[in-house]
Amino acid sequence: MLRSLCATSSDKEFTIDLYQKMLRYRLFEERVNLAYTKQKFSGFCHLHIGQEAVCAGIGACLTKDDYVIASYRSHTQALNKGISPEQVFAELFGKASGCSAGKGGSMHMFSREHRFMGGHGIVGSQVPIATGIAFAIRYRQEKLVAICYLGDGAMNQGQIYEAFNMASLWKLPVIFVIENNQYGMGTDYHRVTSVSEFTSRAPGFNLPWRVIDGMNVLTVYQEFLPIITEVRAKMLPYLVEMKTYRYLGHSVSDPATYRSKEELSHYRQNDPLSQMADYLKGKGFAREDEFEQWDNDIRAEINAAEVRAEAAAAPDEASVDEHVFVD
């Protein structure tokens, strides 16, 4: 089944690559968490641990020229779009070599070169911007897609519905991907949402929609690929809900006491990495010692990136007025 979908590499290479990407995101975020607790940087910091399959699976469907825009929980999406771990660490540490020149921090990763259009701290604000990007794609008649990640909490913000209406009316090639990790800052989405399924709102905007298991990277890839192919070919918007879960608190300062151990352990039993490890072992694609080797190699790579980023220079004082207004 996979073979028909991955045209450029073998199933083995392709699925190992997906696993390694998720492992890199997990280990990166664990290291960021540690750096924060050691007070290597300050400000807000929201981690993506538990949600790796969404980013890796969608990333495998994208071209380098497609656009991605996300909320403040976006370190891994930035990595997925090709920004290096060193640039992300440098941004966290406020260094000039950070992807936003050290002036954005955790919530504002950005790279025009990588077509990663942020990192946005205002809940839902990326949705109208994504719609504008998709408008530009249509205007220029490009064969590109804008991916817009938003949270379940953002699904109750007003501005996104104006954007949904315009995207549908003007047939803009944007995929709104709800990462439904079940919680806003600490509120179960059922308590603040008038419908039980977000996608039940899609027909009101004439948006095609789909719900996908966001804990399984192969499912994400296999179900998202036909959607993006259709969006690219026909230039139309789509609403996709990924059912996922964040393992840690909303931000690093949230102990997440509002949910039960049983709930967390339920999701951990469907951990994206374990599911993929089982798949690779079942297929005979990887041995136990190879998993250990990948873990060691990726840890070493991330640690080295952190060390280099820490040693990098701070922004020049004279640059304080730069990047405030467009030249």
* Residues of the shown chain interacting with ligand TPP in the complex, contacts defined by CB under 6 A: 46, 71, 73, 121-123, 151-154, 181, 183-185, 250
Q: Please identify, among the stretches 120-128, 130-138, 149-157, 313-321, the one whose residues bind Mg ion according to the rule CB under 5 A.
A: 149-157
181: contact with Mg ion by CB under 5 A: yes
Name the residue whose CB lies closest to ligand TPP: 151
Minimum CB separation from ligand TPP for residue 67, in Å? 20
151: contact with Mg ion by CB under 5 A: yes
Tokens for 161?
A: 């519905």
Alpha carbons 306 and 303: distance in angstroms, whole number: 5
Positive/negative CA dihedral, 249, 255, 258, 264: positive
Max CA-CA distance within the chain?
A: 57
With CB under 5 A as the rule, give the number of residues binding Mg ion: 3
Is 68 within 8 Å of 79 (Cβ atoms)?
A: no
Report the chain's terminal Cα–Cα distance, integer Å.
Answer: 50
Binding residue for Mg ion, selected from 52, 66, 152, 306, defined by CB under 5 A? 152
Minimum CB separation from ligand TPP for residue 107, in Å? 9
Minimum CB separation from ligand TPP for residue 44, in Å? 8
Minimum CB separation from ligand TPP for residue 185, in Å? 4
Q: Smaller CB distance to ligand TPP: residue 87 or 181?
A: 181
Task: Name the residue among 113, 114, 94 with its Cα closest to residue 105.
Answer: 94
Minimum CB separation from ligand TPP for residue 12, in Å? 33
Opening angle at CA 115, ends 111 and 116, nearest 5: 55
From the list Mg ion, ligand TPP, none, partner contacted by residue 73 (C-beta under 5 to 8 A by kind): ligand TPP
Minimum CB separation from ligand TPP for residue 239, in Å? 15
Minimum CB separation from Mg ion for residue 189, in Å? 7
306: contact with Mg ion by CB under 5 A: no
| Whole-Å CA distances, 96 to 61, 105, 200, 202, 314 | 32, 11, 45, 42, 5
Alpha carbons 322 and 327: distance in angstroms, whole number: 9
Q: Smaller CB distance to Mg ion: residue 50 or 104?
A: 50
Is 255 within 8 Å of 249 (Cβ atoms)?
A: yes
Q: Smaller CB distance to ligand TPP: residue 205 or 245?
A: 245
Q: Please identify, among the stretches 43-51, 95-103, 181-189, 277-285, the one whose residues bind Mg ion according to the rule CB under 5 A.
A: 181-189
Q: Sheet harboring 209-213: ordered strands across? A: 67-69, 146-151, 174-180, 238-243, 209-213
241: contact with Mg ion by CB under 5 A: no
Q: Smaller CB distance to ligand TPP: residue 46 or 232?
A: 46
Alpha carbons 238 and 147: distance in angstroms, whole number: 10
- Which positions lie near Mg ion, rule CB under 5 A? 151-152, 181
